[in-house]
């Protein structure tokens, strides 16, 4: 049984593992249907997608006519101006075949220029607030990647009372002292304000680099079940966080199985052995541009 946790102040008891529907970016409807059956079998009641995740919203849409009340449904807009963001939110509702999503998130907001635009008088935040006021969405969150993201989320929470945040969290990345300090500061703020904290990249092995990409993820994932069990348990062992699943439907079952077996957090010594055995590397070491390419 996958444990549940109040999703911040929303009143929803979300499963601690959230289906990351980036995994539906480029799959057939038949493949998506099989995966939806799988997450239902595991009792997952929270789906996280985005307008930019290829066909993901389209693949989820057919399920909303019969299962809308089963899921806390979240999507994201990567647009930064009011008009474009508002139009994208409306388009997402059409693709998802619903008249309301539970959570709209400002997507990948981790560069200064885009942050300034999104929070401007005619920025994306204005569109999200209007959509909430009109009943198109219920709650508003913010997401991001890279080593700067926790600091950006802290700034975002100073500007607006977001209901959720989303950012990377795994053992190798938390060895970055500055990122770890920023993450802990963000966690303290979120706990004080009852803001939900979603984490991503739990089973990252390393960047693809020059290696052949053999999974739908934009990082090389762990594939060994024991290794995945350990990495997932380390994330779930942190109280108060949610884990968004891997973006590949073929690796996903192993992450779900790992969650079912979670009992306690591995010690640092065990995590260090895991890192050494699988040559794990942080996915993010430098600030990222908006297209997720590394700055020199």
Q: Which residue has the tokens 């999507």?
A: 75
CB 56 within 8 A of CB 48: no
pLDDT of residue 285: 86
pLDDT average per 10 residues of sequence, the chain (296 residues):
95 98 98 98 98 98 96 98 98 98 98 97 98 98 97 98 98 97 98 98 95 93 98 98 97 97 97 98 69 37
Q: How far is Cα of residue 232 from the mean position of the Cα atoms in its chain?
A: 14
pLDDT of residue 292: 41
- State percent of the chain over pLDDT 70: 96
Residue 223 lies in a domain: yes
Question: CATH code at 209?
Answer: 3.20.20.100
pLDDT of residue 221: 98
Residue 293 lies in a domain: no
Residue 295 lies in a domain: no
pTM for this prediction: 0.95
pLDDT of residue 286: 65
Residue 25 lies in a domain: yes
CB 146 within 8 A of CB 183: no
Could you give the number of structural domains in the chain?
1
Residue 287 lies in a domain: no
Q: Which long-range contacts (CB under 8 A, 24 or more apart) does 175-182 make?
A: 175/282, 176/147, 176/282, 176/285, 178/147, 179/147, 179/150, 179/284, 182/150, 182/151, 182/154
The residues with which 103 forms a beta bridge, in sequence order, are 74, 139
pLDDT in tens, 114-151: 999 999 999 999 999 999 999 999 999 999 999 999 99
Residue 96 lies in a domain: yes
Residue 91 lies in a domain: yes
Residue 284, C-beta contacts closer than 8 angstroms, at least 6 positions apart: 145, 146, 147, 168, 173, 179
The residues with which 105 forms a beta bridge, in sequence order, are 76, 141
pLDDT of residue 290: 39
Domain that holds residue 135: 4-278
Residue 207 lies in a domain: yes
- Mean pLDDT (the chain) is 95
Residues belonging to the chain: 296
Q: Which residue has the tokens 């700067």?
A: 148
């Amino acid at each position: 049984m996958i444990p549940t946790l109040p999703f911040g102040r929303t009143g929803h008891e979300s499963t601690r593992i959230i289906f990351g529907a980036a995994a539906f970016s480029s799959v057939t409807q038949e493949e998506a249907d099989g995966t939806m059956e799988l997450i239902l079998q595991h009792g997952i009641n929270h789906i996280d997608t985005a307008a930019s995740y290829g066909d993901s919203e389209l693949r989820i849409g057919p399920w909303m006519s019969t299962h809308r009340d089963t899921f806390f449904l979240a999507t994201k807009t990567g647009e930064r101006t009011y008009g474009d963001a508002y139009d994208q939110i409306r388009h997402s509702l059409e693709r998802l075949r619903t008249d309301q999503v539970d959570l709209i998130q400002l997507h990948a907001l981790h560069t200064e220029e885009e942050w300034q635009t999104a929070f401007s008088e005619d920025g994306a935040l204005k569109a999200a607030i209007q959509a909430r006021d009109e009943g198109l969405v219920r709650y508003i969150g913010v997401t991001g990647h890279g080593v700067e993201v926790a600091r950006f989320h802290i700034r975002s929470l100073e500007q607006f009372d977001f209901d959720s945040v989303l950012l990377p969290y795994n053992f190798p990345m938390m060895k970055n002292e500055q990122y770890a300090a920023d993450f802990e500061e963000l966690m303290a703020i979120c706990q004080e304000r009852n803001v939900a904290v979603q984490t991503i990249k739990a089973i990252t092995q390393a960047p693809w680099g020059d290696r052949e990409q053999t999974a739908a993820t934009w990082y090389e994932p762990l594939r060994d079940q024991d290794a995945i069990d350990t990495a997932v348990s380390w994330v779930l062992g942190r109280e108060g966080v949610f884990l968004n699943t891997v973006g590949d439907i073929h690796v996903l079952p192993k992450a779900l199985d790992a969650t079912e077996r979670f009992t306690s957090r591995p010690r640092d010594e065990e995590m260090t052995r895991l890192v050494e055995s699988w040559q794990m590397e942080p996915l993010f070491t430098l600030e990222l541009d908006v297209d997720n390419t590394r700055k020199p």
